[in-house]
Structure 1
C-alpha cells in the first residue's frame, strides 16, 4: 500500500473530514444547479418578453399605422425591447444579475426616467443575496479547509507522536498530508462546476479562469490554517482561532471596509436622476416653447428652421422637451456613474489585501456580472435610444405621415458583446498574497519541527 493511499484512508476514516468533503461537494453541486436555474429563468423571461413585445408592437401598429398617421403617437406608444442575456459563465457567479433587470422596454421619450425604474423594487428582497458557486467557494469552502487542517499538527502533539513524525527524514509527510487535503477539497468544490462548464460548452479560457481562482483562493486558506495550526498547542484553540480569522476576513473586515468606502464615496440613487429629469420636463410645460427649442437646437442644430408650429401642442415640442430634460441631467448622470466606478475601483484595491474580495471580484468579472457589465448594458440601451430618436425626428420635424409600413423600419436593439475578461492586477495580487501566506505557513512548520526536536 502506497503512503499516499494510506494517508487517504486515514483522512476518509475521520467522520468530520469525510462529512465535510461530502457536504462541500453537495453544496457545490446545489449551487451550480441553482445558478443554472436562475439563468434559465432569465432566459425564459427574455423569451417571454420578446413574444409579448411583438404582440404589443403589432397592436400599436394596427391602432396608429394609418395612411395619415402621426409619428408622435407611434413614438409615444411604441415600447421597444432591450435585453441583457446572461453570459456563458453567469450561472457560476450571478453578481449583479439578481437585482438588475434582464429586460427593459424603452421608447423615444426621455431615457433617464426609463433606465432606473428597477430601483423602485423592494430592496429587502436583495438582502439574502444569491446562492451560487461563487458564494460556496468564497464563504463556505474555507470552513471545510479549517475542518480538515485545524488539528493537522496539534492532534499529533496531543497524541505524543509529533516528535517522532518530525524526526522521520525524507518522507515528505507534511507535504503529502497538506497536498492530499488540498486536492480533496479542490476536487469536491470544482468537479460540479467543471462538469457544468463542459455541459454548457462555456468558453475554455474563461472556464479555466473561473476554476483557477477558487483553486488559488483555497491555497490561501490552507496556508493560513497551516500557519495557525502550527503555532498553537491545542486542537480546540486552533479551530477557534481559524474560525475567528474566517469571520474577520470574510465578514467583519469587508463589511467595515465597504461602509468606509460608502461613506468616503457617496452615491445618489438612480431614481434621483429620474426625479430631476422629470422636474425639468414638467417645468417645460410652464415656460415658453421657444426656450425649450433654444436648448434643444443648441445640441441638434440640424433641425433649426423646422421647430415652429401652429397651435398649442405639437409632438416635436414634447420630444424636444424630453430630450432637453435628459441633457440637463447629463452632468449628474456622469457624476453618478463616476461615483459607482470609483467605489468599484476602491473595492478592487481592497482585494489587494483581502483574498476573498479579490476572488469574488475576479469571478464576477469573468462571468460578466459585475458593475461594469451593468453599466455596459445601460450604454447599449443609451445607444439604442439615440438611434430610436434619430429615426423618429425626421417624421416629427418634417410632419411626415407615419404609416403601417413605417413600423417595419423601426430600429432593433443590438445586444452588447460582453465585458468578461481576466483582471490582471487583482489576479496577480491574489497570487502574491497566497504565496506569502503559504511561505509563512511552511516557515512556521519548519520552526515547529526544530522546536519539537529539541
Structure 2
C-alpha cells in the first residue's frame, strides 16, 4: 500500500497545478478562518464594551430615584440590554449574525416595535456577505477539486499513456480510485489542517468540530465522485473541465437560487418592519381613543388589575402601559403568522438539502455554528420572555400606585445570556452522506468502462 501511495504522491508533487491548487486552498481556508474569528471576536468585544455603558445608563436612572418616585418613570427611562454572544463555532459560518442584531436594548414599552427596528439597514451593505469557512467549503472547494481531478483519465489519454497504463498490473478501476482518493484527501487536508489549528486556539467544542469535519469530508467526497463520473467520459480534458464547471454553476448557484425564489414565492412572509409599523400605528392611535375603553380592553386579557383604583383625570402611567401592551397584543396574530412562515421556509430549505448537497452542507454548518434562522428566533423568544418579566416587575408598582425607591430598583430583572446547546443537523448530514455514497457508486461504475474506451 505504501508503494502506490508514494508513487501517486510523486505524481502529485510533479504537477505544478496540483501543488499550487492545494497551497492556495489551504491559504484561502486559513484566511477565511481568520476572517470569521475576527468578526466573532469583534461581536464579542462589542458586547463586552456595551455592558459597562449600559450599566452607567441604568445607574444614571437609579440616581433619579434615590429618594423614591413613580415606577412609571423608572419603567419608561430604564433600558435593559440583551445580548446574543457568538457560539464557539460561529466563526466557521457567520450566517444571519451578519445582518441580525446580536445586541438589543429594550424597555417596558411595546416590544414588537423594538424587536424589528434593526431591520432598517441598507441591504446593499450585506449583499457581499462575509468571507468565512462555509463560503470556502461550499463555493470554492469544488473548484479546486475540479482542478485536481478534471484530467484524471483524459490527461493520460492525451499523453498517449492510457493503454500502457491499463496494461500494467494493478491497473483498472482501483488505479483511478486511488488517484482520485489521494487528491481528494489532500484537498480535505488543505482545509482540515487550518481548521484543526484554529480549533486549538478558539473555543469550538469537539462535538461541533467533529460535525464540521463530517460535512467537509462528505461534501468533498461528493465533488470527487462528480469529477470522476464526468472524467470517465471519452472526452478531452478541456471538455471535462467545461462540463464540470457547468455542474458547479448549476449545483451551487443556479438551482439553489431558483429553489429559494420558489420557496419565497410559495410561502409569502411580511417583513418585520411591517409588524413594527402596525404596532406603532396602534399605539399612536390609542392617544385619541377614550381612556376608559382602553382600560376595559386591557382588563379583558389582564383581569388581575381590574380592581385597582380608577384612572384620575390627569395622565396616569397605567393607562400608558396598558395601551402599549394592547399594541403588542393587536399584532400578535400577525407575529405568529410571520414566525410560522419563517419556520416553514426553514423547513423547506432543509428539505431542499436532500436534492442539493450544497444546501445540505450549508444548512449543517449554520446549525452547528448556531447562526441560522432558528438560532435568531430563539434569541427573540428569550427577549420576549425577559420583556414579560420586566412588565410583571413594574406592573404591581404602577397599577397599585406603590412607591418606588432604590431598594425596589435594585430588584429589577436582568437578562441572562445563554450558551446554546449543540444541535446536530442529522438530516443535513445524512443527506450529504447519501449524496456522496450515491455519486461514488455511479463513479465506480463509470470507471469500469474506461478500459473499454481506451
Q: Shared fold by TM > 0.5?
A: yes
- Corresponding position of 1:80: 80
Which runs of 5 or more structure 1 residues have no equivalent in the other structure? none
Q: Distance in 2 between matches of 1:112 and 1:303?
A: 23
What does the per-residue CA deviation read over 1:2-27, in whole Å, with 9 as the maximum and x for residues that have no partner?
22112112112211111110110000
In the superposition, relative to structure 1, how do residues 255 and 167 fare at CA in structure 2: closer, same or farther (>3 Å)?
same
**Is contact 2:71–2:394 with CA below 8 Å preserved after alignment?**
yes
Deviation of 1:425 after TM superposition, in Å, equals: 1.9
Deviation (angstroms), 1:292: 1.3
TM-score using structure 2 length: 0.97
Aligned to 1:211: 213
Aligned partners of 1:451, 1:152: CA distance in 2, in Å?
15
SS for the counterpart of 1:180 is helix
Change (3 A) 1:307 1:121: farther
Question: Is the 1:87–1:418 Cα contact (8 Å) retained in structure 2?
Answer: yes
Unmatched tracts of structure 2, length 5 or more: none
* Paired position in structure 2 for 1:230: 232
Aligned to 1:28: 29
Q: Which moved more, 1:430-439 or 1:71-80?
A: 430-439
Per the alignment, residue 46 of structure 2 pairs with: 45
2:68·2:406 contact (CA, 8 Å) conserved in 1? no
Mapped partners of 2:418, 2:301: distance in 1: 27
TM superposition shift of 1:214? 1.3
Deviation at 1:419, TM superposition (A): 5.2
1:405 maps to: 407
For 1:147, the equivalent position in structure 2 comes to 147
Tell me how far 1:432 sits from its aligned partner.
1.0
1:375 matched to 2:377? The reply is yes
1:325 to 310, 324, 327: 327
Alignment of 1:176-187 (within 5 A): 176-187=178-189
1:377 touches 1:416 (CA, 8 Å); kept in 2?
A: no
The answer to whether the 8 Å contact 1:138/1:214 transfers is no
Contact 1:157 1:233 survives alignment (8 Å): no
Q: Deviation of residue 33 (structure 1)?
A: 0.5
8 Å CA contact 2:87–2:419 kept in 1: the answer is: no
* Structure 2 CA distance for partners of 1:419 and 1:344, relative to 1, 3 Å: farther
Deviations 1:401-431 (A, max 9, x none): 2112222111010223425311222221111
- Where 1:130 maps in the other structure, the secondary structure is coil
**Deviates further, 289-298 or 93-102:** 289-298
Cα distance change of structure 1 residues 78 and 440 upon mapping to structure 2, 3 Å threshold: same
Q: What's the offset of the Cα at 1:307?
A: 5.3
Contact 1:228 1:241 in 2 (8 A): yes
Structure 1 residue 120: deviation in Å? 0.8
Q: Residues of 1 paired with 2:450 and 2:11: CA distance?
A: 23
Q: CA deviation at 1:163?
A: 2.1
> How far 1:265 sits from its partner (Å)?
0.9
CA RMSD, Structure 1 to Structure 2 (Å): 1.3
CA contact (8 A) 1:281 1:322 kept: yes
Q: Which residue pairs with 2:137 in the alignment? A: 137
**What whole-Å deviation, never above 9, does each CA across 1:36-66 have from its counterpart, x for those lacking one?**
1001100011011101101000111112x14
Rounded Cα–Cα distance in structure 1 between residues aligned with 2:246 and 2:20: 22
Is contact 1:106–1:114 with CA below 8 Å preserved after alignment?
yes
Find out whether 1:127 has 2:140 as its counterpart: no
TM-score, normalised via structure 1 length: 0.97
Q: After the TM superposition, which residues 261-276 of structure 1 pair with which residues of structure 2 at under 5 Å, given as runs?
A: 261-276=263-278
CA–CA distance in structure 2, aligned partners of residues 36 and 236 of structure 1: 38
CA separation in 1, counterparts of 2:91 and 2:295? Answer: 48
SS at 2:105 equivalent: strand
- Residue 20 of structure 2 is matched in structure 1 by 19
| 2:357 counterpart residue number | 355
How many residue pairs match? The answer is 451
